[in-house]
Chains A and B, each alone.
Chain A
Amino acid sequence: MAKKNMIAMILAGGQGSRLSPMTKVMCKPAVSFGGKYRIIDFALSNCSNSGIDTVGILTQFKPQALNSHIGIGSPWDLDRVHGGVDMLPPYMSEQGGDWYKGTANAVYQNLNFMDQYDPEYVLILSGDHIYKMDYRKMLKEHISRDAAATIAVIQVPLEEASRFGIMNTDENGVIEEFEEKPKNPKSTLASMGIYIFTYKELREYLIKDAMDPDSDYDFGKNIIPNMLNDGKKMIAHKFEGYWKDVGTISSYWEANMDLLKVDNDVQLFDRSWNLYTSTKVRPSQMIGEDAKIEDSVITEGCVVEGEVINSILFPGVKIEKDARVVNSIIMENVTIESNVIVNKAIILEKSVIKANNVIGNGDDIAVIEANTVVEPNYGGVANN
């Protein structure tokens, strides 16, 4: 098979338990986001827009929704003769088989997949981050600095730094120390979980790591520190722009709300860096006679007769007359009947909020699970 310069491996096995109940039936990368996307669309579209045509997606936890979303990868132009997209779940072999024991182990178990492309470089991505990034710039720095590994980093506020993996670098951006969630962070450069490795080096360290019975088989905890200890040259690639790990209900809600401005930080409307997704065909959105819409993002198949303020509607949502939706995320095929107030809520797929209801109190984020029918006089506030 033709040799590839760089291939991407996307870690998409995450359970995302803190995003429950959204992750009740699907892994975190498959969770819907931003009106018509799923979280993994960001990483996949970045690959496609960066000219990466070979992508392996490492799955483990509840992969069905993700599998059918990705299909053969045609929405991202990844249905290729050489390369394209491959779903890589754990598998059995003559020696038995194993679940993926960690991020590094997942990639290790797919060495044969990477070997067949004989790549110079491998890009390791996380399938659950919201950002637009040109990986070509990162690769350019990796090559010009002759690094063994390059880690994308972003400035975070000092008070939040202890939630991240923090890179301590010299003045040239060479990483001297890596601390996972440090109590007293020495720097504010947080790892974005995006790595470019020179494949030769990565291969060696993955094999070594797999032999170590005490390892956590994790990039952040094992591979990166091991390479640092051996004095490998590792570079921090500074990224400026929007990046968000939507790990919790509140960060998920915030990241969605970030989209509600035309020149939002995610640059959703920037057509030079399109976001691709797999879409079902639907008619355009119908805005009724008495509808009132402010600072909201609405998509195909929606019918809006009521009021929508500061909210995101996914495809096929119906907002009936005299319903009021504020600061909320309404997922695919939800119906909000008349005389309902939805205030700061996330309503999951195919639920119906019957007439004369109040969902959410405007403080905590209320979450209504998928396929729920909320009868009238529900009792005021739904909570997660």
Chain B
Amino acid sequence: MIKDYMAVINLSENENDIRSLTTNRPIASVPVASRFRVIDFILSNIVNSGITNVGVFSASNSRSLVDHVGDGKPWDLNRKNDGLFLFTHGLDELVNYDSRLLKNNMEYLFRSKSTNVVLASSYMIANIDLADVVRAHETSGCDVTAVYTEVDDADKNFQNCFTFEVDSRTKRVTDVGKNIGFGKKANICMEIFLLKKEFLIDILYKSAHSSRHSSLYNAIFDQLENITINAYKFDGYVACINSIASYYRANMDMLKTPVREELFCSERLVYTKIKDEPPTIYVKGSKASNSLIADGCIIKGTIKNSVIGRFVEIEEGAEVENCIILQNVKILKGAKIKNVIIDKNVTVKEDAELKGNSSFPLVIEKKNLISGIR
């Protein structure tokens, strides 16, 4: 258990390549792994390390996030002292959005008693022992510790993520770049930083009104000449949810036992909001194989290699293959869908056929409960 740390989750995340899932919500509250949301992972990592003071800074479109996170109870963050703090006030200008959002709520940082901060994004999914990162940070004596992962699929995954040059002897970050998908090997920054609160505040003052920085992280990296950044290598599973393709891949990864066991069966549990769904029922004639299925489903048809959310109904004769299906979806009799991502509340009509490509899955957007279209 670590002491004297608070956490700041920065949800100003790039949604350019995942728009069809984020029209109604930020990346942080996109459903993933059948019953979780993207933010559950970083929130659980933080809580599992013993941190009890977490500030979540979200851009606009926060309804779904607020609904999901609530008062923080599922993460044991509904505390009298400290606990969860949600900052969801939209800003009109998008320049230096995250720095300004934090700076506008500077009082929160001042009031918090912790000396150090874990600053993190949500879209990198992993089960990481932050207490170990803290230990490494404190022995390193560096101003900042940044967590990274060494990947060999940077040409397909982790697009637009920060990359590090790391000195193999000193384990310091010597240069920072962006992954534009040219090579396979890269050190991808997982956007988890440890730093002094004082230092963060200093950066915020400097960057919020500067026209130089496009983001808070850029402002930190801009200091590379003046500060030392310790590089902490994380060897576990990391999924980066920043495009439809990577979202699809990450969900499919959950079907692999080693990935599932690493993420969900360690001592560090992943917490999420409880929905009070009944167990799932499988009717005679149904056929499910290699699939991750949430509670509350009624399965009468065939499911193969798919990830199914809560309260999904698959009727007789329906066939679902290589699909990601989110909450409250109905697949009616005889419908056949393959390589499709179906967002919440959609009904696929009888005998309908939908087919995507495994590298470019078809996305059926969330049915809006207000307009009731589609």
A residues in contact (CB < 8 Å) with B: 34-36, 74-75, 260, 262, 268-269, 271, 274-277, 279, 281-300, 308, 312-313
Contact = CB atoms under 8 A, between A and B. Distances in A.
B270 interface: yes
B227 interface: no
Nearest to A303: B257
Nearest to A267: B278
A34 B298 contact: no
Contact of A275 (B73, B274, B278): B278
Interface in B251-284: 255, 257, 260, 263-265, 269-272, 274, 276, 278-284
A295 B293 contact: no
A36 B280 CA distance: 11
Contact of A288 (B269, B284, B290, B311): B290
A299 B295 contact: yes
Contact of B290 (A289, A293, A308): A289
Contacts, number: 107
A283 B279 contact: no
B20 to A, nearest CB: 23
A260 B294 CA distance: 17
Contacts of A298: 279-280, 282
B338 interface: no
A275 B290 CA distance: 29
Given A284-B294, A284-B295, A300-B295, A293 B260 contact: no
B289 A290 contact: yes
A292 B271 CA distance: 30
Q: Sorted from nearest, which 6 A-B pairs have the closest CB atoms?
A: A35-B279, A299-B279, A283-B264, A284-B34, A293-B282, A287-B288
Nearest to B273: A281
A262 B283 contact: yes
B330 interface: no
B223 to A, nearest CB: 39
Interface in B20-40: 33-36
Contacts of B260: 283, 286
A312 B282 CA distance: 10
Contacts of B33: 283-284
Contacts of B122: none
A159 B285 CA distance: 37
Most buried by A among B34, B283, B295, B311: B295
B286 interface: yes
B271 A281 contact: yes
10 contacts: A285-B292, A285-B293, A287-B288, A287-B292, A289-B289, A294-B282, A299-B280, A299-B295, A300-B35, A300-B295
